[in-house]
């Protein structure tokens, strides 16, 4: 058996968009610690892809987002590897629970150290999600945070993501994962 040095890297129980593991620069570009507020999903069946950096293997318990006050349509969330291949997803679920964290049931899975993307799509352009919508960088805050987007034909997030440059200047949804 080979010796493996212990990893001292800490991984928070909950990783969300305000933490280093997703986008440290968000603290700068999206209002510098501003409180998330209700944001209307920009376009029906639009997927957003946000970077996720994992410093050591974890066991993922949930993928989640925080709803806004207006509930509408369906939601699907997934996890992609660095190359853009979908590894895990939630089922397509009804958007439910005003202003609540929504975390569809999934089977826990191991996630090795690496670079990933979290994808999320809403079917409704009136649904709201908590998020950040002010920018300290001017236009193109999403691009500077490496956020991509993709127009889908449905709410089902694809097996392979094909993002384009985000046309959302400032739209950072409050999403993330939790670990066991």
Residue 5 CB: number of other CB atoms within 10 A?
Answer: 5
**Site map (CB under 8 A) of other proteins, residues 136-165, x = contact:** xxxxx--xxxx-x--------------xxx
String marking each residue 110-129 x if it binds other proteins according to CB under 8 A:
---xxx--------------
Give buried/exposed letters for 88-119 (b at 16+ CB in 10 A, else e): bbbebeebeeeeeebbbebeeeebeeeebbbb
Nearest approach, Cβ of 54 to other proteins (angstroms)? 7
Asked if 12 is part of the footprint of other proteins (rule: CB under 8 A), the reply reads no
- From the CB of 60, what's the least distance to other proteins, in Å? 16
Nearer to other proteins, 70 or 144 (CB): 144
Q: Count residues contacting other proteins (CB under 8 A)? A: 32
Question: Residue 77: which of 56, 106, 53, 42 has the closest Cα?
Answer: 106
DSSP for residue 169: S
Q: Which C-beta is closer to other proteins: that of 27 or that of 70?
A: 27
Among residues 29, 80, 171, 174, the one that binds other proteins under rule CB under 8 A = 29
39: which 2 tokens?
């944001």
Q: Which stretch binds other proteins (CB under 8 A): 38-46, 49-57, 59-67, 95-103?
A: 49-57
| Under rule CB under 8 A, residue 54 binds other proteins | yes
- Out of 13, 24, 100, 151, which residue is the one contacting other proteins (CB under 8 A)? 24
User: Cα(103)–Cα(177) distance, rounded to whole angstroms?
Assistant: 9
160 CB burial (10 A radius; 0-12, 13-18, 19+): exposed
81 binds other proteins (CB under 8 A): no
Facing residues of 82 across strands?
none
Our measurement of the distance from residue 39's CA atom to the centroid of its chain's CA atoms, rounded to an integer in Å, reads: 14
- Binding region for other proteins (CB under 8 A): 5, 7, 9, 20-21, 24-25, 27-29, 32, 51, 53-56, 113-115, 136-140, 143-146, 148, 163-165
């Amino acid at each position: 058996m080979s010796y493996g040095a212990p990893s001292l890297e800490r991984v928070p129980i909950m990783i969300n968009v305000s933490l280093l593991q997703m986008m440290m620069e968000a603290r700068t570009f999206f209002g510098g610690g501003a409180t998330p507020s209700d944001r209307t999903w920009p376009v029906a069946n639009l997927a957003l892809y946000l970077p996720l950096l994992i410093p050591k293997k974890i066991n993922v318990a949930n993928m989640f987002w925080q709803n806004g006050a207006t509930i509408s349509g369906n939601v699907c969330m997934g996890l992609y590897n660095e190359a853009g291949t979908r590894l895990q997803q939630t089922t397509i679920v009804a958007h439910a629970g005003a202003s609540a964290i929504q975390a569809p049931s999934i089977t826990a899975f191991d996630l090795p150290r690496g670079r990933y993307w979290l994808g999320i799509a809403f079917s409704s352009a009136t649904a709201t999600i908590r998020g950040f919508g002010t920018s300290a960088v001017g236009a193109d805050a999403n691009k500077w945070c490496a956020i991509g987007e993709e127009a889908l034909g449905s709410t089902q997030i694809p097996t392979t993501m094909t993002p384009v440059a985000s046309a959302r200047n400032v739209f950072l949804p409050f999403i993330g994962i939790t670990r066991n």
